[in-house]
Structure 1
């Protein structure tokens, strides 16, 4: 019998942790401090809120993995040791680490906490997997360049070793994040959690004559080749079935701790459906693709798990750093379920679709504020008046307005309102 795979979502802050769990994630990953490889999201958590996040997850039967996958300098080793001990006291379900020395330190300081090996360790083969397994690693997060065939070979050689793969999110143009462009241009070191995403920038080409010092700009075909490093986003939703059929993969991981609340919810919800549908024998790849298209993205690719890197010619987006999704998020429902914050523009009489966590229910209703109704199995909301929580009526509300806006009736906490983008 094939063991059911775990769905692992990013938790950039406490709210995103809650959203990922409510939308279907089995586990979340996140961290505190610069030892986590996402400096920005590491600052969103402090010890207290991260502890609350672990408690929130455990109360719901979910797991939390702590990212301690930075590469420390000598001057930071004592601080790292204290950090490992402090994280262990919170009772997480595993540490995600990258450096062999950190593995050794974690086993000494917190031997009770299982160890997962970060993708930063670049495991691609049985030999390297065996080395880390013998060091005490329970799970490897495979390099994005590894093929599904190689994952199966590792599993056959080391059946007790769990293998985790990325299935969705940003891709690096370099080999598993081994990049120095950000460090050279901004002094922000990618492998220490502060990448400036320089690969997404516009670049122009120049040639210089060393004898005369003359520099000339090379003209390009318009719209081609300006974003020369910009990788498309990974999207393996259509391949979930063949991945799970192998029985080699223990966990499917979504990238994106610094991305939006909507991203956290939609990715968890969509891949939860895909996984559950596979096990139920009713896989629907077009449905998952359409839902993931609602997210802002750089264009999608299925990466290198199915095809080798040298076989791919469509993994780069040379035109734009990021593209709009098919829907615009217009509102995020607060945890109280009775109010929301505007994230775009909402006007009276406009129709906005309601997206709710998996298993949550919506009931049609009507009040003086507006109406919630169903059409073809989907729920929508329309406002007759825009009323703030304090009772002030507005002609419309925009994303710059920080007032909570009243709903016609309660919706499930962490629901989203969205409106379809106009096709130009």
Structure 2
């Protein structure tokens, strides 16, 4: 089947800098929000109304799209505040609202009928019947539940060809059914579908048995190598299935999870998946290259989720060993928006070469001066400092993470480039 329309790459915007980085590295659209009505409290607090407004303007100036997350589940006591929030967000003229409940759909239509509505994955749409109900309510796009199969997505598209479909292709997975988890609420009093999940599924648990006759409690000894992270889900990575997804003609948007993840994550995920989609349509899909970039990200191990296999058929979705995220590379520094400075994220010393990663790497020219040199090796760009000179003129023998002083670069680099090193 010949592909008809390129789906967009939709990236998380946890704050203004991450928004800019995602767009710079290839995202066609971003999503984010302000306040507790956005389903990521931590990221919602990183945006102020003013900085989010700047983000909307920045996105539109690049000819790209931004979707506002208003996908929490409100209490009665919050409805007036919610109405006020929708009005303020509508004034920014975003490209869509992401909402989760029928009531909020009606409210947004009343307040801002000109703003398209995208239905959040929290609504757990898996079938044609539910998709049709929301479509008839005026929903323009459905963000399908993570548990949907590609076969079912195709069926929905065939039944409702004018309804846009969006699926998750990368990021953290919920232990429960797309956010319907009670563990966090039970243990921490933080409710996942109201934006305050404490990630209790990532914790290390111990097993006990209790004798009801005498009250004796005994700790069970685990089998060596099994571990105790019994709820800990691996991260989603659908890269290998991109050709199948694109050939289906059913998916309009490929969504990356991760508003609370790092700037590097925002950049590299957009970069890898944008490259994969672009190359597919060129007829030169090179999975190994994109895989190498995604493997540099901190992760809990990867799974291809449920798009191809049903949940009960999956045996490799959990990481019982550890919830610590690990990757193949360490990020040493982030380059400033003007390209003249770097901010240290991990130890940098003179004479140590760091790889430069940027969507504009081919435009970086080799050079050398008293500050350092930029050179090419095996088709990759590297930077080696001769001396660590800070913006304030102070010279250091080495610089470590936590030092907020900016480092002078030997030559300007593309905005938001990263310096990184392979972990041996």
Q: Aligned residue for 1:38?
A: 40
Distance 2:360 2:326 in 1: 25
Q: Aligned residue for 2:278?
A: 276
Pairwise CA RMSD of aligned residues? 0.9
Distance 1:138 1:332 in 2: 37
Q: 208, 214, 217: which is aligned to 1:215?
A: 217
C-alpha displacement at 1:322, in angstroms? 2.2
Structure 2 residue runs without a partner (length 5+) = none
Alpha-carbon contact 2:360-2:414 (below 8 Å) kept = no
Q: Aligned residue for 2:249?
A: 247
Q: Aligned residue for 1:374?
A: 376
Q: Aligned residue for 1:330?
A: 332
Partner of 1:352, secondary structure, is strand
Distance 2:212 2:361 in 1: 66
Alpha-carbon contact 2:171-2:235 (below 8 Å) kept = yes
Distance 1:224 1:320 in 2: 10
Distance 1:320 1:87 in 2: 40
Partner of 2:376, secondary structure, is strand
Aligned length: 422
Partner of 2:363, secondary structure, is coil
Alpha-carbon contact 1:357-1:414 (below 8 Å) kept = no
Alignment of 1:379-418 (within 5 A): 379-418=381-420
C-alpha displacement at 1:407, in angstroms? 0.7
Q: TM-score scaled to structure 2, two decimals?
A: 0.98
Distance 1:310 1:294 in 2: 30
Structure 1 residue runs without a partner (length 5+) = none
Q: 151, 154, 170: which is aligned to 2:153?
A: 151
Partner of 1:397, secondary structure, is coil
Q: TM-score scaled to structure 1, two decimals?
A: 0.98
C-alpha displacement at 1:358, in angstroms? 4.7
Q: Which runs of 4+ in 1 moved over 3 A?
A: none
Alpha-carbon contact 2:131-2:142 (below 8 Å) kept = yes
Cα deviation 1:4-50 (Å, max 9, x = unaligned): 11110000000000000000000000000000000010011111111
Cα deviation 1:375-413 (Å, max 9, x = unaligned): 121100111111101111101000021110111111011
Q: 341, 348, 351: which is aligned to 1:349?
A: 351
Distance 2:288 2:359 in 1: 20
Change in 2 beyond 3 A, CA 1:385/1:10: same
Distance 1:133 1:53 in 2: 29
Alpha-carbon contact 2:334-2:417 (below 8 Å) kept = yes
Distance 2:303 2:209 in 1: 32
Distance 2:46 2:224 in 1: 40
Distance 2:388 2:224 in 1: 44
Cα deviation 1:290-348 (Å, max 9, x = unaligned): 11000000000000001111110000000010232000000000112111100000011
Q: Aligned residue for 2:132?
A: 130
Distance 1:225 1:314 in 2: 15
Q: Aligned residue for 2:51?
A: 49
Q: Aligned residue for 2:208?
A: 206
Distance 1:110 1:201 in 2: 41
Partner of 2:4, secondary structure, is coil
